Amino acid sequence: MAVTYEEIKQQSMSDEDLVDRLRTEKQVLLKKVQQEGYELGVRSASRLSYRDFHHFSRVQPLAASFDEDVLEYLWDYLDQRGYPQAARTHDADFAHLLEVSSQSRILFCQGWIDGVLSIWEVIKDEVEAE
């Protein structure tokens, strides 16, 4: 009985280590997803209009409440702006992650808005100057 108890205790600690490791991997992966969205925002900002930048400045506070359908809206939006699909994601595994994880889709789009607005912050004063 004591041996069985010790084995269960060891397995439990092993499970905790596994859970901790997987949580860490998940957080790293989600950060990468958000960074990929950010970088796409930076790259695609050149296709946006003055009105678009103002729109996304107003929308950014709502980004925290995006739902899982937001990626479809982003792809449609980029289609309308003529941004090439091949330039959106570079890794097939990454694209698959966006398909299967709603949290990833949301973080990707939040990152995209942050990337777009980072460009706007750099050029806004020059654009607004008369």
**Does residue 77 sit within a domain?**
yes
**Does residue 66 sit within a domain?**
yes
Determine whether 28 is exposed, middle or buried from the number of CB atoms within 10 Å of its CB (0-12, 13-18, 19+).
Answer: exposed
Q: What is the DSSP string of 77-126?
A: HHHHTT--GGGT-S-HHHHHHHHH-HHHHHHHHHHHHHHHHHHHHHHHHH
What residues make up the domain containing 35?
Answer: 25-128
- pLDDT the model gives residue 3: 66
CA-to-CA separations, 22 to 42, 45, 68, 104, 105, in angstroms, rounded: 30, 34, 23, 16, 20
pLDDT tens, residue by residue, 42-56? 999 999 999 999 999
The residue that leads in pLDDT, 62 or 100, is 62
Number of structural domains the chain divides into: 1
- Name the band, by pLDDT with cuts 50, 70 and 90, for residue 2: low
**Does residue 17 sit within a domain?**
no
**Does residue 14 sit within a domain?**
no
Answer yes or no: is pLDDT of 120 > 80. yes
**Does residue 40 sit within a domain?**
yes
Euclidean distance between CA atoms 17 and 22, whole angstroms: 9
**Does residue 8 sit within a domain?**
no
DSSP 69: T
Residue 35 phi, psi (nearest 5): -65, -40
**Does residue 1 sit within a domain?**
no
**Does residue 20 sit within a domain?**
no
